[in-house]
Amino acid sequence: MDFTLNEKQKMLQSMVRDFTRKEIETRWQEMEKSRRIPDDLLKQLASLGLFGMTVPVEYIGNDAGGFAHLLAI
């Protein structure tokens, strides 16, 4: 069985990794202390398509699938 990621999966993985390093690692203490995710960060996550990854398009999701969701996590 081949577990090699395809190009789309590699791009998702890289995008999430870069976003996390740039936006989340610099603010995690603030979020931990306040126990909330700032609205601007939620908007950025949504604009990257990271919400609704397992939800079908007809229900306003992006239907990326379970494996893409796991990669993002």
pLDDT at position 30: 94
In degrees and rounded to multiples of 5, residue 18 shows phi and psi of -65, -45
CA distance linking residue 71 with residue 9, whole number of Å: 8
pTM of the entire predicted model: 0.80
pLDDT tens per residue across span 38-61: 999 999 999 999 998 988 889 888
